[in-house]
Amino acid sequence: MPPSTLTPTVSLDQQFCLAPKAIYFAIGILNYSFYVFRMRFFTEYFGFGEDQYGIVQTFWNVFSFAGVTLWSNLADWTSLHKGLLVGLCLSMGICFEGVLFKGLVAPEKWIYLAVAVFALYGLLIGGLLPLADDQILRLLERRYEQCSKQYGRQALFGMVAYGLISFSLGKLLDRCGASAMIWIVPSSAIFAAVMVACFGYGRMSAKRSSINQQWNHPESSEANVGFFKYLETLGQRNFLLFLLVILASGFGRQTLAIFLPNYLSEELGLSSGQVGNAYLMGTMFSVLFYFAAPYALSHLGIWPMLLIGQLSLVARLASYAFLTPTPSMVPFIELLNGMAYSFTHLAAVQQVSLSAPPGWDAAFQAAYGCAHVQFPAVVCSLVGGYIYKYYRGRWLLTVALTTPVMSSIALTIFLILRVARRRTCNLQS
């Protein structure tokens, strides 16, 4: 058969973008292996109360806040995004094993051990998701030549991992206790490191690398232009509004992430298995939105998606703050988590991807991560621990409800003014 008549074959990887899906699934397993039940680990393994847990979480989140900027800027500077992500995964597994020194330390000093271990763990995990998002976007745009709007279909595998690990840990902890975390987290770290090493996007081409070196090298004139462009973008009115909305959403979401599992167990009477089932339902619901992300972004746009995410978060917080859900109602309330997180995260990643100047991709993902996760987590863990101890969970959730309510009002006003401005321009034209 003449060569011209041969039909080119397309690999399954190229056809279905398997590499980013595999990476996000593995990173999701690692990130969420010590997420839902971390408060239970501290109370069972170390015997900490809510205030001590809040202190450890504060150090974790302060160092995580620093880690987001550190690892993202280091990755942009060196162009070693893949290698740094592999190193972070392995280091997280090693760091977590520091809790084994508990037997060598007097009980009254366990708080210092926990602070030291989880401050370092926070520094490492701070760079995990921003570098993972950067890897996915690089793979889509450079290896597969796909639009960044396809990000949602890759990230949905992270949500699948979230649901599966939460469900599995709920069952496992009911049987084995919180000490099972000691081997689960390192195993997840090895799995994630192997997947990133095998399927991640390596160094950029020489041409692209030279361009980024011009943007990032501090002694070149282009570097100054790049840095001023970075500051200019951060200072734009629309981007500042975006960060404030994300920050408000982060306060509500991080309060739920840190304290909801114990609230469900202690005040609503759910077992760890029932908590895992509830999180699994919310995750499976979010998968639908992740899969439909390209259509949602095309038809709704970024700002309306952010508003829908905010309103879903408000409804979720209000359900816990003002109602007394039965165990059978909780999984249905957690369906709101699927809509709130997926709409907010997908719109935010798209906004950041469109706004980032050349060479600052990971740094802008880090800015989003700081506003949505790290800074709210610092405040919520420190203040929330004391509120939870002295006023219990319902009052804490009522306080947390105020920030997404205010951001929803501000975002609604912004969208109304935006539509009115467009109509005025159309009438004038």
pLDDT band at 144 (very low <50, low <70, confident <90, very high): low
For the segment 384-399, the average pLDDT, to the nearest whole number, is 84
Radius of gyration of the chain (CA): 22
Q: For position 1, what pLDDT does the model report?
A: 46
Q: Is the pLDDT of residue 407 over 80?
A: yes
Higher-confidence position of 164 and 185 = 185
Range scoring the smallest mean pLDDT among 77-91, 138-152, 323-337: 138-152
Distance from C-alpha of 423 to C-alpha of 345, rounded to nearest angstrom: 29
Which of 158-167, 287-296, 298-307, 376-385 reaches the highest mean pLDDT? 298-307
Q: Is the pLDDT of residue 7 over 90?
A: no
Q: Is the pLDDT of residue 286 over 80?
A: no
Highest CATH level, class, for 16-201+222-424: mainly alpha
pLDDT band at 423 (very low <50, low <70, confident <90, very high): confident
Q: Is the pLDDT of residue 44 over 50?
A: yes
Range scoring the smallest mean pLDDT among 4-13, 36-45, 218-227: 218-227
For the segment 209-213, the average pLDDT, to the nearest whole number, is 39
Q: For position 175, what pLDDT does the model report?
A: 86
pLDDT band at 316 (very low <50, low <70, confident <90, very high): very high
Q: Residue 268: what are its φ and ψ, rounded to 5°?
A: -110, -10
Of 171, 169, 187, residue with least CA distance to 38: 169
For the segment 310-331, the average pLDDT, to the nearest whole number, is 90
Residues 291, 156 contacting (CB under 8 angstroms): yes
Q: Is the pLDDT of residue 192 over 90?
A: yes
Q: For position 376, what pLDDT does the model report?
A: 87
Residue found under tokens 């099972």? 180
Q: Is the pLDDT of residue 184 over 70?
A: yes
For residue range 226-274, list pLDDT tens digits in order. Answer: 556 666 666 678 888 898 999 999 999 989 888 888 888 888 888 877 8
Q: Is the pLDDT of residue 161 over 80?
A: yes
Domain ranges of the chain: 16-201+222-424
Among residues of the chain, what percentage have pLDDT more than 70? 84
Q: Is the pLDDT of residue 120 over 90?
A: yes
Mean pLDDT for all residues in the chain: 81
For residue range 358-386, list pLDDT tens digits in order. Answer: 767 667 777 787 888 878 887 887 788 78
Higher-confidence position of 79 and 30 = 30
Of 280, 7, 81, residue with least CA distance to 169: 280
Q: Is the pLDDT of residue 318 over 90?
A: yes
The 3 state secondary structure assigned to 275-309 is HHHHHHHHHHHHHHHHHCHHHHHHHCCHHHHHHHH
Give long-range contacts, CB 8 A cutoff, 24+ apart: 143-151.
143/19, 143/201, 144/14, 144/17, 146/17, 147/294, 148/350, 148/353, 149/293, 149/294, 149/297, 149/298, 149/350, 150/17, 150/293, 150/294, 151/293, 151/346, 151/349, 151/350, 151/353
Higher-confidence position of 1 and 99 = 99
Half-sphere exposure of 2 (CA within 13 A, CB side): 2
Q: Is the pLDDT of residue 209 over 70?
A: no
Range scoring the smallest mean pLDDT among 199-203, 208-212, 416-420: 208-212
Q: Is the pLDDT of residue 207 over 50?
A: no
